[in-house]
Amino acid sequence: MSSVQPVESNTPRKYQLFIDGQWVDAESGKTFTTPNPATGENLAEVSEADKADIDKAVSAARRAFEGKWSKMSARDRGRILYKLSKLIEEHSSELAALETADNGKPIKESTYVDLPQVAENFEYFAGWATKIEGETIPVPGQMFNYTLREPVGVCGQIIPWNFPLLMAAWKLAPALAAGNTVVLKPAEQTPVTAMELGKLIQEAGFPEGVVNIVPGYGETAGAALAAHPGIDKIAFTGSTEVGKLIARAAAENLTKVSLELGGKAPNIVFADADMDQAVNGAMMGIFFNQGQVCCAGSRLFVEEKIKGEFLDRLIEKASRINVGDPMDKGTHMGPQVSEEQLNRIKSYVDVAQKEGATMLAGGESPQLAGAFQKGYFFQPTIFSDVNNQMRVAQEEIFGPVVSVITFRDEDDLIRQANDTIYGLSAGIWTRDITRAHRFAKEIKAGVVWINTFNMFNAASPFGGYKQSGYGREMGKHALEMYTHVKSVWVDLSGRPIGWFGK
Ligand code: ADP
């Protein structure tokens, strides 16, 4: 089992758990199926990990951490990571198609956004493996003090379904570069590409047990991993609600935690903005990946005096979004990931209307033909006359639903923009550079985009303020989450400590 099984293969897809370098059934023998959200048809049958399997995976990761992996040179570790990035590039078209089949995202996105960034993250962190260094500290007296940067050990990583392979890359790459071993739990909705990644991990030459991949449900496999006393760190990306459960479970063993959680990002359009740029930026902010993005610009703040013109243009552009077959290169929006998510979005449309918001576009599922009638599609949806206190302005919908809120001036804007429990990201569209940078300082968010939105790079940190979580992914800051700093003191005087007398 070395290369990626193409999506159009007629062989029914079956995946076992990847533990200690072996493909094994779950201890319980149980499996679960994952549907293609565009059609509702089964895509794959996957072994279902539970507590016993998590125990096995954690033990394997511990053996690998104490064995071959810690004895391997940083250079070799980096070379294996680099090889993995090359293997991903070689197989990127099959992986992109599988990502689309399992998640529903348009093939244009999985091909040109997800897969290139997956490879980029492994490549970037491959370079870091040989550059994780300690420091010497200028302490007084006849003393030499230096630090060692060491891996934290066995890491549990729990990832969501919105960017399945990319979230695996964000988590695995820095952990492995720093010399940790990993037990990765993909989301139950989208396990397929993580399992294919397991095959490439084998092919790249990682020693057995360095990476273990255990698909299963959150309440069982995920909870068992978060509460496991044998892990040294837990990293989670997902909802704020589950993030709190993870932090509580981790507190029991004082396991190190990093959390990348929900958001309700303000995306702000001032009257002096380039209108074309801002309209396109508003669309990118909320309709990319069907709105299933934690940093989505779901609160669209528009300066009062341009509201009419701006909304006309936004509605017109949104009406030209192609919603449909995600495998079609011309599709802009595929289905939502699951029926559960679709229903959640529909319920928020009801909430918005009850709260008095005005629906300007969308609000329902499109009429599609053939196999796609059973898919979980939803139209791009725009609400205006929203005020920042409404539930649709405060709660994360995680779908293609934007709430338009107006503001009068900068003070009014900052107050409203920061009036949220979240603080993941923010966007601002203006030609006034002093205002843009003032905003960047004032907004309580981990990422600010000025005249752009949804920009990412493996070298640039990403993470939240407030209830959007803690810790930073990507860039050198990610390594801080996966390393301990050890301080070493050496006496250079050769004399006894005189404190208690000679
Ligand atoms: P969503 O609500 O958007 O599906 P979640 O935060 O529930 O997002 O899921 C993100 C990840 O967290 C998934 O891998 C899921 O299986 C996992 N998960 C869900 N509930 C728990 C839990 N109680 N403990 C640990 N992991 C969980």
The helix-helix angle for 164-177 and 92-103 (nearest 10°) equals 120
The residue type found at 291 is: G
- Catalytic residue flag (residue 155): no
Per-residue pLDDT tens digits for 56-112: 999 999 999 999 998 999 999 999 999 999 999 999 999 999 999 999 999 999 999
Report CA(75)–ligand 1 centroid distance (Å).
35
Write the single-letter amino acid at 153.
G
The two three-digit tokens of residue 284, written as one number: 């990118």
> Contact at 8 Å (CB) between 70 and 85?
no
Residue 1: the pLDDT is 45
CA–CA gap between residue 25 and residue 22 (Å, rounded): 10
| Domain positions in the chain | 13-261+468-487, 266-450
326 CA distance to ligand 1 middle (Å): 25
d(CA 162, CA 104): 9
Q: Is residue 199 within 6 Å of ligand 1 at its C-beta? A: no
What is the CA(221)–ligand 1 centre distance, in A?
10
**Among 142, 144, 152, 146, which residue's Cα sits nearest to residue 134?**
146
The candidate with the shortest Cα–Cα distance to 405, out of 397, 393, 421, is 393
Tell me which CATH homologous superfamily contains domain 266-450.
Aldehyde Dehydrogenase; Chain A, domain 2 (3.40.309.10)
Alpha carbons 440 and 433: distance in angstroms, whole number: 10
Q: Which residues contact 373 (CB under 8 A, 6 or more apart)?
A: none
User: Which pLDDT belongs to residue 333?
Assistant: 98
120, 260, 303, 396: which one is catalytic? 260
Q: Whose CA is nearest to atom 23 of ligand 1?
A: 219
Which is it for the CA torsion 115, 120, 125, 126, positive or negative? Answer: positive
Q: Is the CB of 396 under 6 A from ligand 1?
A: no
Task: Name which of 296, 342, 223 is nearest 453 in CA terms.
Answer: 296
Statement: 13-261+468-487 belongs to CATH 1.10.3720.10: no
- Which ligand 1 atom lies nearest to the CA of residue 241? 6
Instruction: Report whether 465 contacts 265 (CB < 8 A).
Output: no
State if residue 235 touches ligand 1 by the CB under 6 angstroms criterion.
no
H or E element at residue 303: strand 299-303
28-58, pLDDT tens digit by residue? 999 999 999 999 999 999 999 999 999 999 9
- The H or E element containing residue 145 is strand 143-151
Residues 473, 488 contacting (CB under 8 angstroms): no
Tokens found for residue 294: 């934690």
Residue 37 Cα to ligand 1 middle (Å): 18
Q: What is the pLDDT of residue 9?
A: 63
Question: Which residues does residue 211 pair with via DSSP β-bridges, in sequence order?
Answer: 182
Does the CB atom of residue 32 touch ligand 1 within 6 A? no
The CB of 44 under 6 Å from ligand 1? The reply is no
| Three-class DSSP category at 184 | strand
Per annotation, catalytic residue among 155, 294, 303, 473: 294
Short-list 427, 406, 413, 462, CA closest to 259? 462
Give 305's DSSP letter. Answer: G
The answer to whether the CB of 242 is under 6 A from ligand 1 is: yes
**DSSP 8-state symbol, 409:** S
Cα(5) to centroid(ligand 1), Å: 27
pLDDT of residue 10: 58
Among 46, 158, 244, 397, the mutation site with the greatest number of ligand 1 atoms within 8 A of its Cβ is 158
Catalytic residue list contains 294: yes
Among 34, 167, 242, 397, which is best to mutate for testing ligand 1, by the most ligand atoms less than 8 A from CB?
Answer: 242
For residue 128, with 0-12 CB atoms within 10 Å meaning exposed, 13-18 middle and 19 or more buried, which class applies? buried
Listed as ranges, residues in the chain with pLDDT below 70 are 1-2, 8-11
215 CB within 6 A, ligand 1? no
Spatial separation of the C-alpha atoms in residues 293 and 291, rounded to whole Å: 6
pLDDT of 463: 98
Tokens of 127: 């370079």
Q: State whether the beta carbon of 299 lies less than 6 angstroms from ligand 1.
A: no
Is the minimum distance from the CB of 257 to ligand 1 under 6 angstroms? Answer: no
Amino acid (one-letter) located at 336? Q
pLDDT of residue 502: 78
Q: What is the rounded distance in angstroms from the CA atom of residue 120 to the CA atom of residue 143?
A: 42
